[in-house]
Structure 1
Amino acid sequence: MADSPITKHERHLLWLLAAVQFTHTLDFMILMPLGPELIQRFGISAAGFGAMVSAYTLASAIMGLLGVLWLDRWDRKHAFLLLYVGFVAATISCGIAPSATWLLFSRTLAGACAGLMSAVVMAILADCVPAERRGRAIGTVMSSYGLSAVGGVPLGLSIAGQWGWRAPFWAISALAGVLWLLAWRILPRVDRHLATAREKGTSDGAPTLWAPGLALGWGLTFSVVFAGFLLIPYLSTFMVGNLGLRLTDLSWVYLCGGAATLFSSRWIGHLVDRHGPPRVLGTLLVATLCPFLLFTHLTPSPKAIVAAVFVLFMTLTSGRAIPTIALITSRVPPALRGRYLAVNMAASDGASGLAAWMSGLFLTTTPDGALVGFGHMGFLAVSVSLLALCILWLLGRSPVPQRAAHT
């Protein structure tokens, strides 16, 4: 079963969803390597920049909670198109922002649309791809993260260097506009969950949605993401201010990290299908402890060494999302899947936003741009990862909700 091939129809669907996730991921990621320039241009502090990063994710978290009220009551295609057009408009607004306040508002609007849109994408994937192939399917869609770092972030930084920091946002909105038209034309109706809800009487679904076994999944997602985002928003600033890299070196370093995650995502997805999400996730949670401590305590080093540690960090950290999503989607009935994933996206985005904000409170920047206190954040990230491991163990001992298995 785990080795059954992905059909041609599924492959086309997955690449469309991966392209959509590429625009969403790149829109979020592009702000972080632009951090040193935005801090200088707008005169904001590390905490102010952390708030700008967290606004995107916290807005997404709030929208995810609101999505519980309606997300499974619509055809998923219609919900997706509505949210994606809002994302395009918000990204255009980022490109024309005349001030830090305007940019903060635009990032908030973009996050409100993008996070819930990502939940719809994962619900479409889970509805259209059988459970035995879902790990590889998620790995394919999640490879957009690596593609963003391989091509998107370096290209975006190159565009920013040529035409200014606004240009990457205009490029992202143009690409997203094209993808919106393609989705409108070729994405099929995805409304089987509506019929399932009527047949089985789960249209309300609130008692099952908030069952302890499902709520643990949200806690798992929160802790996995929180650990990584204590560090991720400040990696570029740390590499420039503490490790001695130049701004021009960031494109090369992100290219290496992105290339590694691009290839590792599908491999990890294959492992998930073969060995099961819990075993793969547990292994990755333990494996990330080393790069968390290694990177945050790294001293000024040659560019090749920094890139190697960065590759290890990004490959293992980003890979944890694949078994996490595969695990929680396998436990949710289809009629509840959209709303459950909306809350799960809220947990993910809330974790990343709160983590970025918390790190900003504890980190300080010296006059020469170095971060102080980053090593302490590394120890905190390790502690939260161990907490995630405990939640994974509890989740394995909780019963799978009725009608969730094999859906």
Structure 2
Amino acid sequence: METKKADVPAMTRYQKFVIFILAVTQFTVILDFMVMSPLGDLLMKSLKLKPQDFGFAVSAYAFSAGISGLLTAGFADKFDRKKLLLFFYSGFIVGTVFCGLAQSYPALVAARIITGLFGGVIGSISMAIITDLFSLQQRGRVMGFVQMGFGASQVLGIPIGLYLANAWGWEAPFWMVAALAVVVATLIGFGLKPVISHLAVQHDRSPIIHLVHTISNRHYRIGFTATALLSIGGFMMMPFGSAYSVNNLGISQQELPELFMIAGISSLVVMPLVGRLSDKIDKFKLFAFASVWMMVMVGIYTNLPPISFWIVVTFNVLMMIGIMSRMVPSTALVSAIPEMQDRGAFMSINSSLQQIAGGVAAAVAGMIVAQKDQYSPLEHYNTVGYVVMTITLVSIFLIFRVHRLIKSKMSSVNPAPQMEMA
């Protein structure tokens, strides 16, 4: 049978609710991390930070998130995923409150570490829930909607956060995130059902053994490596995006909210379309095309001279389309690698490597980029772009290996020749 209905199952009402809950959860977590980038120029000027200092502030969250994920990976498949989500989300709220209370650079770094310890695990738990509740044929659409949190954070969260920061100081956006997260936590507590199907197929009694079992799987390591490289390529340009726009391209602080809002709107439009497309065509081909597109845009954008606001907006949107269009198919493919009994641990380790790789990327970018004073143009930002392009080329090869692995896995489960794995 090759009918569309058989290949792409319809969503139930509860599945749609789960997508909504996980999407708004991701929105708050992503916003908490993403808001550091547009606040970058403001923070560097107000706290008199060098690029290396700001890069470390961004990396502090990522490194703590990665360490937390590794430490909890062995336990990730031992509990109800709903309870895990609530526990870590509550800790994330507390850490965000501490960010709002911080009055110095050391206090901010400490608060970011606390937030990362809890917030860095939430994405992996959400991914495990998605993999448990949705078939591979549905996951492209699910990823498209859940990862709309990235675009929504730019359309709504970041512009509002910047307005609040301009009015009441850089701490204000963190208070906004904490208040919204309390509402989301209430929805999770009362609306999400327990997610416990994985508990019936557990084999490893010890969390340590379970962690070692997951890491030692050769197929899993392919997915881990692909995720790490994708994260390095995605994170490296981000921390200094606002500083580059202001100091190199001539964008004013007042224009930044509009720039992020337009780029975010493009993400909200593109993500669902890419999600649906990735469920209909070959996911790897979509990823490869999007990666090449992104490389071209990165090469152009990081070498732009001071230009008009709308040209900057145009290249931001075009670059965002490439970034978003590779996130959805690659995430859907990697999510299909682990077996059910290993999904929680796999997603935790995967998320940890993603966070650690992002931390490394931000720190390395901070060492590459230079600035003579707080109002001078950034130097060597184009070098960061060339590094991103090189890493993107390697990631295409690794996602191809993941693609072949999943095709082999699917054919062994269902060898019927008419079944096609996108």
TM over 0.5: yes
| Aligned match of 2:144 | 139
1:390 aligns with 2:397: yes
Code of the residue aligned with 2:344 in structure 1: it is G
| Aligned match of 2:296 | 290
C-alpha distance in structure 1 between counterparts of 2:270 and 2:323, whole Å: 11
**Per-residue CA distance 1:276-328 (angstroms, 9 max, x = gap):** 32222122122211111011001111000000101111221133221121101
Paired residue secondary structure (1:49): helix
**Equivalent in 28, 31, 37 of residue 32 of structure 1:** 37
Contact kept? 2:61, 2:113, Cα under 8 Å: yes
| Aligned match of 1:128 | 133
Identity of aligned residues (%): 29
**Equivalent in 212, 219, 243 of residue 213 of structure 1:** 219
| Aligned match of 2:328 | 322
| Aligned match of 2:14 | 9
**Higher deviation after alignment, 300-309 or 177-186:** 177-186
Paired residue secondary structure (1:320): helix
| Aligned match of 2:28 | 23
Structure 1: tracts of 5 or more residues without a match:
none
Paired residue secondary structure (1:33): coil
C-alpha distance in structure 2 between counterparts of 1:206 and 1:44, whole Å: 41
Query: In structure 2, do the counterparts of structure 1 residues 54 and 204 end up closer, same or farther at CA, with 3 Å as the change threshold?
Result: closer
C-alpha distance in structure 2 between counterparts of 1:152 and 1:360, whole Å: 25
| Aligned match of 1:90 | 95
Alignment of 1:3-402 (within 5 A): 3-197=8-202, 204=210, 206-207=212-213, 209-367=215-373, 368-398=375-405
**Per-residue CA distance 1:365-407 (angstroms, 9 max, x = gap):** 132331000111111111000111121233344475699969x
C-alpha distance in structure 2 between counterparts of 1:182 and 1:351, whole Å: 32
**Higher deviation after alignment, 384-393 or 15-24:** 384-393
1:332 deviates by 1.1
**Per-residue CA distance 1:172-224 (angstroms, 9 max, x = gap):** 1011011111111111000100012259x999474455322211111111111
C-alpha distance in structure 1 between counterparts of 2:210 and 2:413, whole Å: 20
C-alpha distance in structure 1 between counterparts of 2:98 and 2:241, whole Å: 26
Paired residue secondary structure (1:98): coil
Paired residue secondary structure (2:23): helix
Paired residue secondary structure (1:189): coil
**Higher deviation after alignment, 147-156 or 157-166:** 157-166
C-alpha distance in structure 2 between counterparts of 1:267 and 1:222, whole Å: 25
1:166 deviates by 1.1
Contact kept? 2:231, 2:358, Cα under 8 Å: yes
1:63 deviates by 1.1
Code of the residue aligned with 1:255 in structure 2: it is M
C-alpha distance in structure 1 between counterparts of 2:412 and 2:320, whole Å: 32
**Higher deviation after alignment, 184-193 or 65-74:** 65-74
**Per-residue CA distance 1:121-167 (angstroms, 9 max, x = gap):** 11111111122111101111000110100111001111112222111
Cα RMSD after superposing both structures: 2.2
**Per-residue CA distance 1:54-108 (angstroms, 9 max, x = gap):** 1111111111111222111111011111101100000000001011000001011
C-alpha distance in structure 2 between counterparts of 1:36 and 1:204, whole Å: 44
Code of the residue aligned with 1:213 in structure 2: it is H
Structure 2: tracts of 5 or more residues without a match:
1-5, 415-422
C-alpha distance in structure 1 between counterparts of 2:94 and 2:389, whole Å: 38
C-alpha distance in structure 2 between counterparts of 1:250 and 1:25, whole Å: 18
1:5 deviates by 2.6
Code of the residue aligned with 2:377 in structure 1: it is A
C-alpha distance in structure 2 between counterparts of 1:119 and 1:205, whole Å: 15
**Per-residue CA distance 1:332-380 (angstroms, 9 max, x = gap):** 1111001101111111111111011001001111323310001111111
C-alpha distance in structure 1 between counterparts of 2:215 and 2:27, whole Å: 29
C-alpha distance in structure 2 between counterparts of 1:227 and 1:280, whole Å: 18
Code of the residue aligned with 1:101 in structure 2: it is P
Paired residue secondary structure (2:74): coil
Query: In structure 2, do the counterparts of structure 1 residues 365 and 72 end up closer, same or farther at CA, with 3 Å as the change threshold?
Result: same
Contact kept? 2:222, 2:398, Cα under 8 Å: yes
Paired residue secondary structure (2:225): helix
C-alpha distance in structure 1 between counterparts of 2:69 and 2:248, whole Å: 36
**Higher deviation after alignment, 391-400 or 209-218:** 391-400
Aligned positions, number: 406
| Aligned match of 2:420 | none
C-alpha distance in structure 2 between counterparts of 1:405 and 1:290, whole Å: 39
C-alpha distance in structure 1 between counterparts of 2:333 and 2:27, whole Å: 22
